[in-house]
Chain A
């Protein structure tokens, strides 16, 4: 290659479309009663249908439909009132029936979108479709022997297909992160990528900038982490750019990403591609979404991250950064909302966010816990913030109280009362202390009066020492200025 990728990118534009499979968190499989638990002994979660036995028939799990509808609504998709299951045929040992029940020409959702923020800029990625299907089993190869585990077979999935309008590996990774956050937010999937609950294939092509037609694409399979997506797509863009730059042509093929080697290898060419012979599954009636079902979905849909992001800024005056951090995780946002609701107040939102993002997350990080495991309930953090904001305790004492409350679970107010660390804001009481301190240090008082500003801190320290740090710093400072004459 003669020119670096960065130079080629000025001339060429990468175009990426993603297909993301998300396992739906149902208790039983999409079409049969077996459980969907992860990590059970191989083939223990099977039944005659999962095993593809003769005479078995699929009956669709309504919960899977409800979960898929939540995602459809959350992505502003058009929901088909009557969608259909189709059979997708291919032979493989992990596919017991010789076909996968999927949706083809009549998918559940179409024309939705997913919003990403890339480099501080909002990007709306259109979704071609979201359809329901069943997962396949898993093959493992040990030497010359292959093992088939059908525990995963039949778990309901949604496949989310984006339009080819993602233009960098960074955007592709951000798409995955956004989708991951959204499905967790909606509680439709654990989306644990290590358990294969969220999996991604990417279609990558390049075209000359200004060109409307798409270039020949390759499909990258097996890119099952945010980092792999970024690496694999970056690698594929560079590979394609090298080929087109040297006058070559991109072959339509499927490539398998090898994360360990950091490169992809051809898996099958277009000629070897399967003809899936789709046709409507005659065992399953059309999937009907009526007004009652949709009404239930709309009523129970949680406030979405985008809406909360806006609300936190508008209602609580949070910075965009803080708001974004809070909506990065449903549990975090819910904790914040719960803390705000516990003690509603004019500026408490911002203070709560500060305490959450610094003290609480700091402590949780140090313990390796997430917000859901916080030993300090939202109402308790809120109570602590109220103590600080009302001036009952100083911010400094507040941090000590936080540490103690976090560790012991004792209510902040109880600790404050037990330790007697309420802030002294009573002006008469503080005047006595100030007066005593100034009288006891005439030399320093003289020095300050003659212009040595640095001595002011000496007097604040002395008052704090006298009051064991309980003196209200603002009032103290006021009174000292009065007593010292400037």
Chain B
């Protein structure tokens, strides 16, 4: 069956003509039809787009033209990535009906690499959440246990990959939104260095933290997809103009002699016993493969959460000011201009989005900037410095991706409880570093656990190399989710 093929395998078989792209697309669409009613990963399926992409691949293949590295690979896009001609909602009612006139840079790049973009996946509204329960549209279930959340905010992208609805997907990660759902659904999730991947066409949540990255079933696949989307983009002034290395090269080189840091502040945190056990097994495996494990200190780690919840809502309150119903999206019936703003935004945004807009509006008020936003930026600099000092001694840092495995729907009602689900992933975004979550076993209840690796800026290659060892030693192997099939 083609649904659990890796990215590399799919591209190879399509190129060899073992399975035509047409056939592959129809397989994918059938699989989505059979599974997604219950899974809820997709908000939109681009039937025409997928079929047209398949025709183009077959045309090229039969006429002997070169095929892209991802030719025929079915990839899903988080619905905060702008797609020309295909509805993009960011999981919000306020963008209902908006058909973008342009493609995000990552979408252009995937198309150019030959990927078949099958559709748009569910998310917490504007990426604000850790369970995908904050989507304005539908519930996405965890394919390992239908009573549990897939994590978020890229829950749809994670669930779709985990359940074999596509070979890979793109998510966005502002405070853990790729890595946390990857951990919850047993897939690989990579948040690249800030600026490694263009943000042009990414519906902004928090501009200084947002980054696009792949969710895949294998580490090697993450390398392939990152290869296709990474690189400088003149349309994004924060994009880094640094050469892109070959991420697949040296993946299997091993980790002998490498030093891996274990931040005591993370391990002193409350961590579920099964998660802790899985991470300890991961440490043993890494040691066995020749790595040296040392304790490191990130003294300002506990300030990451409060700093994040100043910076991210402040930027969000600004980024979301454009949703006024004037030029696109949903506009409410109103008496006058003020009424139009109030009703449009009142009806269009969900409660979590409103909460963050209010938080951000409050902290940016005249006279409060220094006490909140500026102070949080200073904390951010300290967090970054902690990492700089740690990376002077170690090559990568290992932590659990999340303190617990996937929780049940409705388990986190209080906003702060939900925010704490990201306690291990936030500082990576604040420091602009790359972070990778790799499955490292299951809990006693059969839920996946993710190991998080944090690396030096632009050192995704080392993360992937260590990730490959985790995958080979304590990874899930052939174990597939059984909650929804």
Do A and B share a complex? Answer: yes
Give chain A's interface residues, CB within 8 Å of chain B: 48, 51-60, 87, 89, 91, 93, 96-99, 146, 148, 275-279, 282-285
- Check A55–B201 contact: CB distance below 8 A: yes
Closest partner residue, chain A, to B202 (CB atom): A55
Closest partner residue, chain B, to A276 (CB atom): B366
In the complex, whether B23 has a CB less than 8 A from a CB of chain A is no
Q: Mark B196-224, 1 if CB is under 8 A from A, else 0.
A: 00011111101110000000000000000
The segment from B97-105, B133-141, B148-156 that touches chain A is B97-105
Chain A residues, Cβ within 8 Å of B207: 282-283
From A55, A59, A146, A279, B369 is in contact (CB under 8 Å) with A279
From B88, B315, B324, B337, A54 is in contact (CB under 8 Å) with B88
The segment from B231-239, B296-304, B402-410, B434-442 that touches chain A is B231-239
Chain A residues, Cβ within 8 Å of B80: 54
What does DSSP make chain B's interface, helix, strand, loop or mixed? loop
In the complex, whether B453 has a CB less than 8 A from a CB of chain A is no
Contact A52 to B314, CB < 8 A, known contacts A59-B234, A93-B337, A97-B322:
no
Q: Which of B75-102 contact A (CB under 8 A)?
A: 80-82, 88, 90, 95, 98, 100-102
What does DSSP make chain A's interface, helix, strand, loop or mixed? loop
Q: Size band of the B side of the interface?
A: 35 or more
From A53, A275, A279, B318 is in contact (CB under 8 Å) with A279
CA distance A278 to B206 in the complex (A): 16
Chain B residues, Cβ within 8 Å of A52: 322, 327
- Check B236–A57 contact: CB distance below 8 A: yes
- Check A54–B322 contact: CB distance below 8 A: yes
11 interchain pairs (CB within 8 A)? A48-B101, A52-B327, A53-B322, A54-B82, A55-B82, A55-B199, A57-B236, A96-B326, A276-B366, A278-B366, A283-B237
CA distance A51 to B98 in the complex (A): 13
Q: Mark B224-244, 1 if CB is under 8 A from A, else 0.
A: 000000000011111000000
Chain B residues, Cβ within 8 Å of A54: 80, 82, 88, 90, 95, 98, 100, 203-204, 322
Chain A residues, Cβ within 8 Å of B317: 277
From A55, A60, A146, B203 is in contact (CB under 8 Å) with A55
CA distance A56 to B327 in the complex (A): 14
What is the total of A-B residue contacts with beta carbons within 8 Å?
104
Q: Mark B316-330, 1 if CB is under 8 A from A, else 0.
A: 011011111011100
Q: Whole-angstrom distance from the CB of A29 to the nearest CB of chain B?
A: 14
Contact A89 to B321, CB < 8 A, known contacts A56-B200, A59-B235:
yes
- Check A91–B321 contact: CB distance below 8 A: yes
In the complex, whether B361 has a CB less than 8 A from a CB of chain A is yes
Contact A57 to B235, CB < 8 A, known contacts A52-B327, A96-B327:
yes
CA distance A98 to B319 in the complex (A): 8
In the complex, whether B373 has a CB less than 8 A from a CB of chain A is yes
Q: Whole-angstrom distance from the CB of B350 to the nearest CB of chain A?
A: 16
Contact A60 to B237, CB < 8 A, known contacts A54-B90, A276-B366, A279-B314:
yes
- Check A48–B318 contact: CB distance below 8 A: no
CA distance A128 to B398 in the complex (A): 52
- Check A279–B321 contact: CB distance below 8 A: no
Contact A275 to B366, CB < 8 A, known contacts A53-B328, A55-B201, A283-B207:
yes
CA distance A59 to B200 in the complex (A): 11
- Check B237–A58 contact: CB distance below 8 A: yes
Task: Tell me which of B102, B204, B237, B361 has the highest count of chain A C-beta atoms within 10 A of its own C-beta.
Answer: B237
Chain A residues, Cβ within 8 Å of B98: 54
- Check A51–B321 contact: CB distance below 8 A: no
Closest partner residue, chain A, to B201 (CB atom): A55
From A93, A98, A146, B321 is in contact (CB under 8 Å) with A98
In the complex, whether B365 has a CB less than 8 A from a CB of chain A is yes
In the complex, whether B167 has a CB less than 8 A from a CB of chain A is no
From A51, A278, A283, B327 is in contact (CB under 8 Å) with A51
Q: Whole-angstrom distance from the CB of B447 to the nearest CB of chain A?
A: 34
Chain B residues, Cβ within 8 Å of A277: 317-318, 361, 364-366
CA distance A146 to B334 in the complex (A): 14
- Check B321–A57 contact: CB distance below 8 A: no
In the complex, whether B341 has a CB less than 8 A from a CB of chain A is yes
Chain A residues, Cβ within 8 Å of B237: 57-60, 283-285
Q: Mark B404-429, 1 if CB is under 8 A from A, else 0.
A: 00000000000000000000000000
